[in-house]
A = this chain, B = another copy of it.
Amino acid sequence: MQTVQRPPDSDPSAQGNAAEAPSSEHEVLPVTPGKHQVVIVGGGFGGLYAAQQLGRADLEVTLIDKRNFHLFQPLLYQVAMGGLSPGDIASPLRGVLSAQKNTRVLMGEVTDVDPNQQAVSLNDGRTVPYDSLIVATGMSHFYFGRDDWADAAPGLKTVEDALEMRRRIFAAFEQAENTTDLDLRQTLLTFLIVGGGPTGVELAGSMAELAHHTLRNDFRHIDTTASRILLIEGMDRVLPPFPAELSARAQTDLEKMGVEVLTKSLVTDIAGHQITLKQGDEVTTLRAGTVLWAAGVRDPGMGGILAASTGAERDRSGRVMVSDDLSLPTHPNVFVVGDLAHFAHQVDGAASPEGNRPLPGVAPVAMQEGKYVAKLIQKQLQDTTLPPFEYKDSGSLAVIGRHAAVVNLPWAKLTGFPAWFVWLFVHIFYLIEFDNKLMVMTQWGANYLTRKQGSRLITEKVFEKVEVSTPE
């Protein structure tokens, strides 16, 4: 036996500079002595915008993420509906940051923060020292204490979540086509979306588009336009953060598209495909083949890790309470940005009165917070500072369907086609990479012209069936 050797013409220096690094299991990652170390945890909008803002600064940046890509979450619902592929809305973090020579990307999961040693620990045992730490890990969905609903009602935070929704939706149509049991068929053609915020509205609207238009000629035994699509919201209107008139318009638009909107309705139980609703004092049940979860957020873990090690305070959802410069009150070199930060300060920097809501968990807040902290760190290195963070609200928007959206600008409210057009433009503009912009534009153009959606693949558990018990 003889081992095939690396051929002689290969470059022995190929091992890179880490050849000098210690090889212990609990190694400390090498840093350039004297360089200020910024560690960013999370490559979403907050973390990535902070990293990009630091691209030319005289310091070293380490961006740590569990995943190897940035995900453009505002379009994730389109992956769930088969309108886009995951690759269209994901950007490899290394690719995005490859030209920033002061930045390295680490794929790993942070398991601990040590504010005394100023270092974070990774799941592979390594530690990364920091001078400034930016935590931007976001929030995950929350079942209001009923984690047992997760199997029956998948949420929408990751690519895998979206593909699981896609699989369930298209498998439900296939199974409805394959059965002659009319009760089962009706259940399979019922789609229930829990939560009337932007994500729920987007899911409901695109689900209606799918059932009533995209698929209408594709089946021979079922009529997809007879699908029931229900949107369940606990408050008295959909899109609660929007002005009441836009909520009303969104509801009208949804109803025109064939969505049944149930407001003031709380889901009190999900048992397989049987859902129990409480509407005022009335308790009702209904059966749905597919339940999609778009309600509730909570800290997926990093907020807890940070609180445990720094004593940081948190709100009921687990968001970390931050000072008016987004740092921890006890640790001015530790910052929290994006959805995980509870920032509820007034413009004058004073903490908001009890009960004030934090800034909403939307991309523009995270982007501005990430950039602010990056600039602040650079100022601090020059022994100056910045005025407190102030969110510049350039408006919020939610899409309902083809030609329908609502846009709430500080100076105007848009609905219908103009709102939809603004939504389209904004989403393409903010896609991180040139090729994502191009791909999304192309796919949307094709979908728009053909009214088809090409990415409706059923993958993974292809033949997993919706097991529906007989109603009592």
Residues of A within 8 A of B (CB): 1-4, 6-7, 10-11, 13-19, 21-23, 27, 66-69, 82, 84-88, 90-92, 94-95, 98-99, 104-109, 123-124, 126, 159-160, 163, 170, 174, 177-178, 180-182, 185-186, 215, 217-223, 225-226, 228, 260, 277, 282-286, 433-436, 438-439, 442-443, 445-447, 450, 452, 454-460, 462-463, 471
Given contacts A3-B284, A442-B439, contact A17 B221 (CB under 8 A): yes
Known: A92-B218, A107-B177. 12 other contacts (CB 8 A): A2-B284, A3-B286, A15-B222, A15-B223, A18-B180, A86-B457, A87-B87, A92-B452, A94-B219, A435-B450, A435-B452, A439-B454
A-B contact pairs, 25 of them (CB 8 A): A2-B285, A3-B286, A4-B277, A4-B284, A13-B223, A15-B182, A15-B222, A18-B180, A21-B180, A68-B457, A84-B87, A85-B85, A87-B88, A87-B455, A87-B457, A92-B452, A92-B454, A95-B456, A99-B217, A104-B221, A107-B174, A109-B463, A123-B463, A160-B460, A438-B445
- Determine if A226 and B86 form an interchain contact, defined as CB atoms under 8 angstroms apart: no
- Determine if B436 and A454 form an interchain contact, defined as CB atoms under 8 angstroms apart: yes
Query: Complex: how many Å from CA A70 to CA B275?
Result: 35
9 A-B pairs with the lowest CB-CB distances in the bound complex, closest first: A14-B226, A87-B455, A435-B446, A85-B85, A85-B87, A94-B218, A18-B221, A4-B286, A104-B220
Query: Complex: how many Å from CA A178 to CA B125?
Result: 11
Query: Complex: how many Å from CA A460 to CA B84?
Result: 18
Query: Complex: how many Å from CA A436 to CA B447?
Result: 11
- Determine if B86 and A180 form an interchain contact, defined as CB atoms under 8 angstroms apart: no
Q: Residue A439 contacts which of B126, B217, B223, B443 (CB distance < 8 angstroms)?
A: B443
- Determine if A459 and B86 form an interchain contact, defined as CB atoms under 8 angstroms apart: yes
Query: Complex: how many Å from CA A98 to CA B213?
Result: 13
Given contacts A87-B455, A457-B159, contact A124 B178 (CB under 8 A): yes
- Determine if A226 and B284 form an interchain contact, defined as CB atoms under 8 angstroms apart: no
Query: Complex: how many Å from CA A218 to CA B109?
Result: 20
- Chain B residues contacting A452 (CB-CB under 8 Å) are 92, 95, 433, 435
Q: Residue A459 contacts which of B17, B95, B159, B219 (CB distance < 8 angstroms)?
A: B159
- Determine if A6 and B186 form an interchain contact, defined as CB atoms under 8 angstroms apart: yes
Nearest residue, chain B, Cβ from A186: B6
Min C-beta distance of A263 to chain B, whole Å: 14
Nearest residue, chain B, Cβ from A277: B4
- Chain B residues contacting A284 (CB-CB under 8 Å) are 1-4
- Chain B residues contacting A457 (CB-CB under 8 Å) are 67-69, 86-87, 90, 92, 159
- Determine if B10 and A228 form an interchain contact, defined as CB atoms under 8 angstroms apart: yes
Given contacts A14-B225, A15-B223, contact A107 B178 (CB under 8 A): yes
Nearest residue, chain B, Cβ from A458: B68
- Determine if B27 and A180 form an interchain contact, defined as CB atoms under 8 angstroms apart: yes
- Chain B residues contacting A126 (CB-CB under 8 Å) are 178
Query: Complex: how many Å from CA A83 to CA B392?
Result: 38
Query: Complex: how many Å from CA A249 to CA B182?
Result: 62
- Chain B residues contacting A14 (CB-CB under 8 Å) are 222-223, 225-226
